[in-house]
Structure 1
Amino acid sequence: MRKENSNLILKNTKDKNLSIQFNLDGFSFSIQDTLSKKDMYFSAYTFPETQATPENLLLKIKDIFKNDTHLQQDFSNVAVIHQNNLSTLVPNEYFNEDKLSSYLNLNIKTLATDFITFDEINTIDTKNVYIPYVNINNYLFNNFGEFNYKHHSSVLIDKLIQQNKSDTKTMYVHVSKTTFDIVVLENKKLLLYNSFTYTSNEDFLYYILFVAEQLKLDTNEFPLYLLGDIILNSRLYKITYKYIKNLYFLESKNPIFKELNLETHTNFILLGE
C-alpha cells in the first residue's frame, strides 16, 4: 500500500475537523483547523489493487485506522465522502423521495437490500441519488459518533461550479485509478455529468470524445481541465492532447501542497480551492 502524507505533527485537541474520502482503490483524509478552515494535515493511501467488494475495502480501512494515529484523535466535526459510480442526478422538479430506487435502476442494477439516499446540490437545484457503503458508515459511526456524508460527485460538481469563471462551455475530467468523472459547465450551469470506468487509454479518450460530440464541442476550441490521478508525462495525458488542444491542469492554491510530494491538481475533492 502506497502512502503520501504531510509532515506536520498535530496536537491532540478537538479544534480540528476531519474529512475522509474513499473508494475501492484507496483512502485519503485531511485535517482542518476548526477556526481558520485551513488544511493542516493530509494523507492518502493507494491500494496495490482494486478491492473487489465494500467488505474488502472495510478491512483495508480498519487496518489504516489501527496504524495511523492521526485518525485516533478527537475531532469537532467529521465529514465522509463516498466515491463510487452508484449515483444519478435528478432535477428537483422531477424528484420524489419515494422513488429513489427507480432513479438508480435506469443506470445500474440495485438490490432490494440496498440503502439508497440523496444529497442536495443547491447550486444546480438537483438531488444526487446514490448508494453509500453502509458497512463503512457503520464502522465510522462506531469510531466517531454522528457525522455528515456525501457522494463524491456532489462535492465535485459543487466545487467546480463555485470555481468556474468561464462563460464558455468548459469540460472538467476528474481522473481516478479505474474510473473518471466528466463535468461540463457553461456560465455556472451544469450541462453534463457522467462517470465512466476505463481499462485502457483508448477507453478514456473515447468517452471524452463521445461527450464532446454529443454536446457539439469543437476539439480545437473548447478548454478541458484535468484533475485527479493524471500527470503530464503519462500516456493518458499524451493521447488526450493529440485530440484536445486546449488541455490544462486545474491547479489548486491550497498551501498544504507545499508540504506534499503531490501535483497541485490532485486530490481536488478534499484539497481543491
Structure 2
Amino acid sequence: MEITNNSVIQKSYKKLSIQVSLNGLSFCCRDTLSGQLISFEKIDFSNFPKIFTIENSLWKSMLDFSDLTKSYDEIVVLHENNLSTFVPKPLFDEEYKGSYLQYNTKVFETDYFAVDEMGKHEMVNVYVPYVNINNYLIDQFGSFEYQHFSSILVSKLLDLSKNDEGQNMFVHVASSHFEIIVIQNQKLLLYNSFEYQIAEDFLYYLLFTAEQLHLNPESMKLFILGECSENDALYQKAYQYVRNTSLLDVSELQKTNSFSTQENRTHFILLNT
C-alpha cells in the first residue's frame, strides 16, 4: 500500500523505514530530497515489561520516539522472520503461493501469504507477514508498503555481485539467527536462515552449506555482514576454516549517512530501503 493522496503543499519529503521482528524494531527517517538520513533508532522489546504483547511494545515504542508518529510521504515496513522462500518467476503460481513454503516451514490454512515481486531478478519472495503488526500499524499510519526483510537483503547482494562469475557466500548475522546467501553470476543459488546460540553452531551450518553446494573452503569467498565484526567469535571461527573470509564492503552505502562502517554493516538491510 502506498500514500498517494498528498498534495505538493502537504508533502514532508521524508520517508520512514521500519524493520520489525517479535523481539524489537529499528527505524530510520530519510530526507527524500537529499537522500540523507535524519534519524535512526533501535528498540529492544525485552526492555519492556514481560507482560507486554507485541501491540503493547509497538505502542510503547511510538510513545517513546516521536519520529514514529510524524507525517511521512512514504512508509516502508520490513518483516523480519524465517517464514519466507524465493521462487523463480516462471514457476510461481499465485493461487498456490502457500505451497511453496511448506517445504521449509510449518504453514496453516489460516496463514496469510504475501509476495514480494523482484522483477529484475526474475523471482518472487513468498512469505508470512506479521498480520497483527500490520493491523496495528494500519491504525497508526493509515497506509504503508511492507516487504520481507530478505527481499531487500538478497536484492542488494545480487546487485553487488554484478560482473562476478564466482560462487560467493554471504552471511548476514543477527543476535540469534543468521542468513546464508550464495550467489553466482547475479543468480541466487541458495537462501536459508538458521538459528544459533554459540559460534560452533554458526560454523557447523556454514560448512555444511558449503559442502552441500560443493564449495571449497580453500577457494570460496565468504563475505560477512550484519551484527558481526572481526573481533567476534563468529568471524574468528569462519576465518579459521574459510581462507577468503572478509567483512562486506559497505563504502557506497556509507556515503548516504554519517554512521560508522560497522554500523552500516549491522543495519545494512534497513539502511538500503
Normalising by structure 2, we get a TM-score of 0.88
Deviation, 1:257, is: 5.3
Question: In 2 relative to 1, CA 252–272 (structure 1 residues): closer, same or farther, beyond 3 Å?
Answer: farther
The aligned residue for residue 199 of structure 1 is 197
Deviation, 1:92, is: 1.4
- The residue type equivalent to 1:213 in the other structure is E
Q: d(CA) in 1 for partners of 2:54 and 2:262?
A: 24
Deviation, 1:173, is: 0.3
SS at match of 1:37: coil
The aligned residue for residue 136 of structure 1 is 133
Question: In 2 relative to 1, CA 59–69 (structure 1 residues): closer, same or farther, beyond 3 Å?
Answer: same
- Choose the corresponding residue for 2:30, options 29, 32, 39: 32
Q: d(CA) in 1 for partners of 2:259 and 2:268?
A: 16
Alignment check: 8 A CA contact 1:123 1:158 kept: no
Identity of aligned residues (%): 41
The aligned residue for residue 178 of structure 2 is 180
1:31-52 deviations in Å (ceiling 9; x for gaps): 1112232222211123448x99
1:80 aligns with 2:86: no
Question: In 2 relative to 1, CA 121–90 (structure 1 residues): closer, same or farther, beyond 3 Å?
Answer: same
The 10-residue stretch of structure 1 (23-32 or 256-265) with the greater mean CA deviation from structure 2? 256-265
Alignment check: 8 A CA contact 2:167 2:182 kept: yes
- Choose the corresponding residue for 1:247, options 236, 245, 248: 245
The aligned residue for residue 162 of structure 1 is 159
The aligned residue for residue 92 of structure 1 is 89
Alignment check: 8 A CA contact 2:12 2:71 kept: yes
Q: d(CA) in 1 for partners of 2:228 and 2:249?
A: 12
Q: d(CA) in 2 for partners of 1:182 and 1:152?
A: 14
What is the number of residues matched between the two proteins?
A: 261
Give the ranges of 4+ consecutive aligned residues of structure 1 lying more than 6 Å apart after TM superposition: none
1:198-235 deviations in Å (ceiling 9; x for gaps): 12211111111111111111111111111111122111
The aligned residue for residue 5 of structure 2 is none
SS at match of 2:143: coil
Alignment check: 8 A CA contact 2:171 2:225 kept: yes
1:271 aligns with 2:271: yes
Deviation, 1:71, is: 1.0
The aligned residue for residue 6 of structure 2 is none
Question: In 2 relative to 1, CA 36–216 (structure 1 residues): closer, same or farther, beyond 3 Å?
Answer: same
Deviation, 1:154, is: 0.8
1:115 aligns with 2:112: yes
The aligned residue for residue 213 of structure 1 is 211
Q: d(CA) in 1 for partners of 2:227 and 2:194?
A: 14
The aligned residue for residue 6 of structure 1 is none
Deviation, 1:260, is: 5.8
1:64 aligns with 2:61: yes
Deviation, 1:261, is: 9.4
Query: Is there any run of 5+ residues in structure 2 with no aligned partner, and where?
Result: 1-10
Deviation, 1:56, is: 3.2
Q: d(CA) in 1 for partners of 2:234 and 2:167?
A: 23
SS at match of 1:78: strand
- The residue type equivalent to 2:148 in the other structure is H
**Aligned-residue CA RMSD in angstroms?**
2.5
Question: In 2 relative to 1, CA 207–123 (structure 1 residues): closer, same or farther, beyond 3 Å?
Answer: farther
Deviation, 1:58, is: 3.1
Deviation, 1:139, is: 1.1
Deviation, 1:111, is: 2.0
Q: d(CA) in 1 for partners of 2:40 and 2:260?
A: 8
SS at match of 1:217: coil
Q: d(CA) in 2 for partners of 1:29 and 1:58?
A: 17
The 10-residue stretch of structure 1 (251-260 or 236-245) with the greater mean CA deviation from structure 2? 251-260
The aligned residue for residue 150 of structure 2 is 153
Q: d(CA) in 1 for partners of 2:106 and 2:272?
A: 32
Q: d(CA) in 2 for partners of 1:40 and 1:163?
A: 25
Query: Is there any run of 5+ residues in structure 1 with no aligned partner, and where?
Result: 1-12
Q: d(CA) in 1 for partners of 2:81 and 2:103?
A: 16
Deviation, 1:175, is: 0.7
The 10-residue stretch of structure 1 (35-44 or 178-187) with the greater mean CA deviation from structure 2? 35-44
Alignment check: 8 A CA contact 1:41 1:256 kept: no
